Amino acid sequence: MDILADLKWREAVYQISDLEALRKRLATGQPIALYCGVDPTADSLHIGHLIPFLVLKRFQLAGHHPYIVVGGGTGSIGDPGGRKTERQLQTMEQVNQNKQALTKQMTRLFGTDNFTIVDNYDWLSRLSLLEFLRDTGKLFNVKTMLNKEIVATRLETGISYTEFTYQILQSIDFWHLYHHEHVQLQIGGADQWGNLTAGINFIHKKDPQAAVFALTIPLMVKADGTKFGKTSGGAIWLDAHKTSVFEFYQFWFNQDDRDVIKYLKYFTFLSHDEITQLEHEVQTHPEKRQAQRRLAQEVTTFVHGAAAAQAAQEISTILFEGDVTQLSVRQLEQAFAKMPAITISDQATNIVDWLVTNQLEPSKRQAREDISQGAIWINGQRIQDLNFRVDPHSHFDGQYILVRKGKKNYTLAQVQA
């Protein structure tokens, strides 16, 4: 199956500027150079960046040459897309620090073979104002620019000239890569279609015979209608210091049955047959969550490596299916980095009093009822004895107590030093 057919099966294509011409270009057997851009607005990528990167990676695995433009230039002025207000400008020092962090992450995802990272600051910073206005600005029609969705949505609240020119700078990027690196294809999200086609039009005005293309990716929406990647806890980062590997693994493992096959198609490199088999498992044995487990394993391996993915899977298995006392203090801290936590006294206390004092139960009556019904677990042990004494020093080097109420309601209690 060719790359475009595979992308279509994986529901990874929304629009292509000239499908037949691109198909013919790919059919020549000669590798195509393609790119997408990312602005260094933070010191880590998040899972939203995986959406275009997975398309780049598939082209790379098919023998083509992906480029990523780290927007040291565009990132210093701000992209108007997806927001109703102006972006807060960063210092150049912060932009450079972010560029270094993102470059390291992208190199881990793509390796160094048949892959190139460039920085548009290298060419945009050399433009003079007069050169920009005469040689570039003259080729852009303001009416056309205003009609671009990415700008039109901001007209009511206002948009600065700085952010208004972003689409011109992105077009210069495409021209530069086409002219100097023979890049012919730019990819981006569905909301970037206006910017991508602006780049094609700009190149055609400078070189009418140029064979250049744009491909956009569908907006990733969950079955409940909410945007993919948004959680109550904030962004899911690729940096393990910002989102632990366990949290990352759990994000994928907790996906809805209605979404998991779509995500397996898009975010993994499993074959069509493997995904079809997992789809059958979802339909016949959804309680086993085989598809979710494979999704979590594959994406975590891609981002963090096989060893880290295996460690996250082991923590998950122990936490939800095994003996939690097998967890090390480090594993416990990783698992509960952003989950409910309380601070407790280091004194041994009756279980009923302990639960109420630490606000894990609203009253002694409710505490006794939950204990009697077997709903309370302390360090993996079900407690049904109302006279049980909670000893903070019994497990986890005397640093923590792990409380479970019901099936999955965990709280980590840190013992005061």
pLDDT tens-digit series, residues 360-396: 999 999 999 999 999 999 988 899 999 999 998 888 8
The listed CATH number (3.40.430.10, 3.40.440.10, 3.40.640.10, 1.10.240.10) that belongs to domain 245-322: 1.10.240.10
The response to whether 230 counts as a known ligand-binding position is yes
Rounded Cα distance between 104 and 70, Å, is 12
% residues pLDDT > 70 (the chain): 95
Placement of tokens 């962090």 in the chain? 101
CATH 1.10.240.10 domain residues, the chain: 245-322
CA 398 to chain centre: 36
The listed CATH number (3.90.1300.10, 1.20.140.10, 3.10.290.10, 3.40.640.10) that belongs to domain 341-415: 3.10.290.10
pTM value? 0.82
What's residue 338's pLDDT? 62
What's residue 89's pLDDT? 78
What's residue 142's pLDDT? 85
> Is residue 242 within 8 Å of residue 236, measured between CB atoms?
no
Low-confidence ranges of the chain (pLDDT < 70): 1, 78-87, 230-233, 322, 338-340, 408, 417
The response to whether 138 counts as a known ligand-binding position is no
The response to whether 206 counts as a known ligand-binding position is no
The response to whether 399 counts as a known ligand-binding position is no
Tokens of 387: 């006279």
What's residue 235's pLDDT? 84
Burial class (CB in 10 A: 0-12, 13-18, 19+), 161: exposed
User: What are the C-alpha distances in Å from 247 to residues 54, 102, 153?
Assistant: 21, 20, 35
CATH 3.40.50.620 domain residues, the chain: 3-217
> Is residue 293 within 8 Å of residue 310, measured between CB atoms?
no
| CATH code assigned to 3-217 | 3.40.50.620
